[in-house]
Structure 1
Amino acid sequence: MTSEHVAVVDLGYGDAGKGTVVDALCGDGGVRAVLRFNGGAQAAHNVVAPDGRHHTFAQFGSGTFAGVPTHLTRFVVVDPLALAAEAASLGNPFHLLTIDADALLVTPWHRAANQVRERRRGGGRHGSCGMGIGQTMEYALSNADAPRAADVRSAALRLKLAAVRDRLVAAFGPLDAPPLDDVVAAFRAFGAAVSIVDASYTAKLLREGRCVFEGAQGVLLDEWRGWHPYTTWSTTTFDNVAELCDSFERLGVVRTYTTRHGAGPFVTEAPLDLPEAHNGVGQWQGAFRVGHFDAVAHRYAVEVAGGVDALAVTHLDAPSRCPALRICTSYDVADRLEPGPFRDLAYQRELTALVSRAEPAALHRPASFVDDIADLLGAPVRLESWGPNRTGKRFRTAVRVPAPAR
């Protein structure tokens, strides 16, 4: 393993195993902190500890079982109520948690408005998690007084929460949310329990030791690069990490088979016998879908993410359990997906239309999924994952040698 910082990004539609990869990276005791750099409480990173404990990490970092602190950077959308519930299930390890004062806060009205919007879409849902993350980010774009982490200790908290309630009720009608005073009290209690820090804290952590940046969701769901409109309100590439850290290893995570949770194009979807213990039908997302490894889509993800230094390949036990599993190397409509201009959603809609009508043109069963995936994505495999916990991980030789000390 290298001594430099590592950023863990999913090269698919999420659910590739970022949590178990982060847990493995933290297992040697040499990590100063896990920094979350996008998303929020909709993350669902399953980690099984060597002693059998299981937790689906949402806002706490996936290094928590290893005792590694979590820092929620300014790019994370923090849900105080969901975070308090997660903390309780973990034994309230608030001593391991810090939150950037500028992080946006999800309120019960954001969540309720998100769910109203999804219901109104009927059969045309986008695959939202129903957690209010996108609603919170959308609200902040047009309201400079959007609640942030620092506000839980501010005299302005009640006014800001009341404004959220009133504006969203005006836009969506009556919303299923607790009374204002109850929310204010809960947010105040949250502020008393957590450590809220200023913008300089991230740089302090990076100076103090090796850090792991833990991403949420996947590049194919990116707000600007995914199949619009079946995307998230979040930057899922390495871009946010690059704003926080000058030098880091880019580690892309893929499964040996491609998955998607919810609506949207999925070229290689197939009725493969690959049951998922920790993923099922979500009330808002919809069904958990599986298919052959989609090298075309994953190559696109690598390109729009700015490249990767190495790969982590998970679920390496799946090919032996599923003889029908294949790798797709081309579509009938294209061998390659061409990235468009950055932040051009009209282009992304065109790309979505192309992918929506595509079918696999070439499927094969490789002798080695690890070697084939490395060749197809143009990056060495640094971590192999053969099981749900650290004991099922195999690290390969580091892909970059740290520069000599000056």
Structure 2
Amino acid sequence: MSSIVVIGSQWGDEGKGKITDFLSSKANIIARFSGGDNAGHTIATNGKHIHLSLIPSGVLYPDKLGVLGNGMVINPKSLLHEIHYLRQNGIPVHNLRISNRAQVLMPYHILFDHLQESLKGQKIGTTGKGIGPAYMDKLERIGIRMADLIDKPVFAQKLKQALKIKNIILTKVFNRKPLDFDSMFKEYYHYGQIIKPFVCDTSYLINHALDEGKHVLFEGAQGSMLDIDHGTYPFVTSSNTVAGNAAVGSGIGPNRINRIVGVCKAYTSRVGDGPFPTELHNQVSDHIRHAAHEYGVVTGRPRRLGWLDIVVLKHAVRISGITDLSLNCLDALSGIGDIKVCVGYRYHGKRIDNYPANNRVLEECQPIYKVFPGWDEDITCCTTVAELPKNARNYLESVSKMVGVPLDTFAVGASRDHTHILKNVWQEADK
């Protein structure tokens, strides 16, 4: 057996979907283990750009299984919309499997997401998709799981329990009208019956596949710096985005993970509020945004952009045990002149190389930059490191050396054809 975990090593939007899709060609199962439809990834294939939020990237391969793991919070309405979208684009979904232990995201989660955000003095900048409230209900043990949604009497009992609590808060705290049980039950039970054929014990499915020596690829959502424990709290998502959650969120033992691929860009981006030490507001960020079309897949918001931050990448390596690095969007740096890379922070005259947990401390940190000479050539036709201009090659190799992790792939564009292999990570996983 062999398995690979693909995670983001920055603040999300690093191109995980493309790398997952790229590695899926050798996998039998592609399983997502966290998050919900707040995550977005775009895959360029056969002249089309396919936008996915819930369904794993590997669903594009009809001979492989795409799994939504137990660590996810799944909006049935969004899921059915995505299934319809894939079918409209000629992509079958018979190979989709959904964990019976995954949490169901309900309409009141979205409502409470907006209501709670409106009360915060310091906005988190959520997507408003209800992810946080859904995970709150999971931990409060009043959540509804997929196994409940497809069981009529159980769903009725659990929805009544949840609405009893939610309606007290809505009426007493927010001065809102109570939510109606009958209409919500009818709508979501109907969704559950459509989804029911896909629902199964995915933990058993994945472990059985590994026992048979098959390849399993685990797909993370968002990025390491949005992890609820290890990210830029409170400006984070509501789940663990690090590689360790691949085991918890899909129902396997950590000893079954062989390799961990961290995906990053040749620069840094993030959507939403929160610390961003290397952020730029100038012609360089405008150039990158235009070259790489830096807008959020789910929100459509322009992404915040800045220089590559080695402190962030080393933090991601530590908290996830990244063994391999995939670097995307190298082409977006063409033509911008000298390129800066943050190699440390200066705080009150002293250098620090770890990412601070205290946001006040972080705000007072000044990036320490190393400057690399840029290049003007169009590199989108380069297929090997040797074909890159000298300065682009030096930048690529220097990033790997500074992070301390070997490069598996580099990309000079958005499509599969623009992603090039330096080392076969599946062969490494099989050893």
Q: Same fold (TM over 0.5)?
A: yes
What whole-Å deviation, never above 9, does each CA across 1:73-108 have from its counterpart, x for those lacking one? Answer: 111111111111111100074412111111111001
User: Is 1:289 the counterpart of 2:307 in the alignment?
Assistant: no
User: Is 1:40 the counterpart of 2:54 in the alignment?
Assistant: no
User: Is 1:79 the counterpart of 2:75 in the alignment?
Assistant: yes
User: Is 1:206 the counterpart of 2:203 in the alignment?
Assistant: no
Distance change >3 Å, CA 402–CA 221, structure 1 → 2? closer
Instruction: Decide which of 236, 239, 249 is 1:231's aligned counterpart.
Output: 236
What whole-Å deviation, never above 9, does each CA across 1:350-370 have from its counterpart, x for those lacking one? Answer: 2x2222222222241253221
User: Is 1:194 the counterpart of 2:202 in the alignment?
Assistant: no
User: Is 1:355 the counterpart of 2:381 in the alignment?
Assistant: no
CA RMSD of aligned residues (A): 2.5
**Partner of 1:148 in structure 2?**
145
Q: Is the 8 A contact 1:329 1:335 kept in 2?
A: no
Opposite residue 36 of structure 1, the aligned amino acid is R
Where structure 1 has 5 or more consecutive residues not aligned to the other structure, the ranges are: 340-346
**Partner of 1:298 in structure 2?**
313
| Matches of 2:133 and 2:113, distance apart in 1 | 6
Instruction: Decide which of 49, 54, 66 is 1:54's aligned counterpart.
Output: 49
| Matches of 1:12 and 1:47, distance apart in 2 | 19
Distance change >3 Å, CA 308–CA 175, structure 1 → 2? farther
Deviation at 1:336, TM superposition (A): 3.8
Distance change >3 Å, CA 197–CA 280, structure 1 → 2? closer
Distance change >3 Å, CA 318–CA 81, structure 1 → 2? same
| Matches of 1:281 and 1:398, distance apart in 2 | 29
Distance change >3 Å, CA 93–CA 182, structure 1 → 2? farther
Opposite residue 273 of structure 2, the aligned amino acid is A
What whole-Å deviation, never above 9, does each CA across 1:199-229 have from its counterpart, x for those lacking one? Answer: 3122123334111110001111111011111
Deviation at 1:129, TM superposition (A): 1.5
Q: Is the 8 A contact 2:167 2:179 kept in 1?
A: no
What whole-Å deviation, never above 9, does each CA across 1:222-259 have from its counterpart, x for those lacking one? Answer: 11011111111111111122442423211011100100
Instruction: Decide which of 246, 260, 264 is 2:270's aligned counterpart.
Output: 260
Q: After superposing the two structures, state which structure 1 stretch, 125-134 or 364-373, moved more.
A: 364-373
**Partner of 2:259 in structure 1?**
249
- Match of 1:70, SS state, is strand
Q: Is the 8 A contact 1:297 1:337 kept in 2?
A: no
Deviation at 1:286, TM superposition (A): 5.9
Q: Number of residues paired by the alignment?
A: 386
Opposite residue 257 of structure 2, the aligned amino acid is S
**Partner of 2:332 in structure 1?**
318
Q: Is the 8 A contact 2:13 2:296 kept in 1?
A: no
Deviation at 1:175, TM superposition (A): 7.1
Where structure 2 has 5 or more consecutive residues not aligned to the other structure, the ranges are: 374-390
Distance change >3 Å, CA 280–CA 79, structure 1 → 2? closer
| Matches of 2:117 and 2:246, distance apart in 1 | 30
Instruction: Decide which of 379, 382, 398 is 1:372's aligned counterpart.
Output: 398
Deviation at 1:380, TM superposition (A): 0.5
Deviation at 1:198, TM superposition (A): 5.4
Q: Is the 8 A contact 2:150 2:189 kept in 1?
A: no
Distance change >3 Å, CA 118–CA 327, structure 1 → 2? same
Instruction: Decide which of 12, 17, 20 is 1:19's aligned counterpart.
Output: 17
**Partner of 2:414 in structure 1?**
388
**Partner of 1:344 in structure 2?**
none
Q: After superposing the two structures, state which structure 1 stretch, 170-179 or 65-74, moved more.
A: 170-179
| Matches of 1:403 and 1:15, distance apart in 2 | 28
Q: Is the 8 A contact 2:294 2:303 kept in 1?
A: no
**Partner of 2:293 in structure 1?**
277
Deviation at 1:72, TM superposition (A): 1.3
**Partner of 1:343 in structure 2?**
none
| Matches of 2:297 and 2:34, distance apart in 1 | 24
Q: Is the 8 A contact 1:382 1:396 kept in 2?
A: yes
Distance change >3 Å, CA 231–CA 262, structure 1 → 2? same
More helix by share: 2
TM-score normalised by L of structure 1: 0.88
Opposite residue 278 of structure 2, the aligned amino acid is T
The structure that has the greater radius of gyration is 2
| Matches of 1:302 and 1:335, distance apart in 2 | 20
Deviation at 1:57, TM superposition (A): 1.5
| Matches of 1:89 and 1:358, distance apart in 2 | 45
Deviation at 1:315, TM superposition (A): 0.4
Q: Is the 8 A contact 1:302 1:308 kept in 2?
A: yes
| Matches of 1:43 and 1:205, distance apart in 2 | 27
Distance change >3 Å, CA 378–CA 197, structure 1 → 2? same
Opposite residue 376 of structure 1, the aligned amino acid is M
| Matches of 1:397 and 1:191, distance apart in 2 | 39
| Matches of 1:377 and 1:9, distance apart in 2 | 16
Deviation at 1:53, TM superposition (A): 1.4
**Partner of 2:380 in structure 1?**
none
| Matches of 1:153 and 1:278, distance apart in 2 | 39
Q: Is the 8 A contact 2:316 2:322 kept in 1?
A: no
Distance change >3 Å, CA 187–CA 163, structure 1 → 2? farther
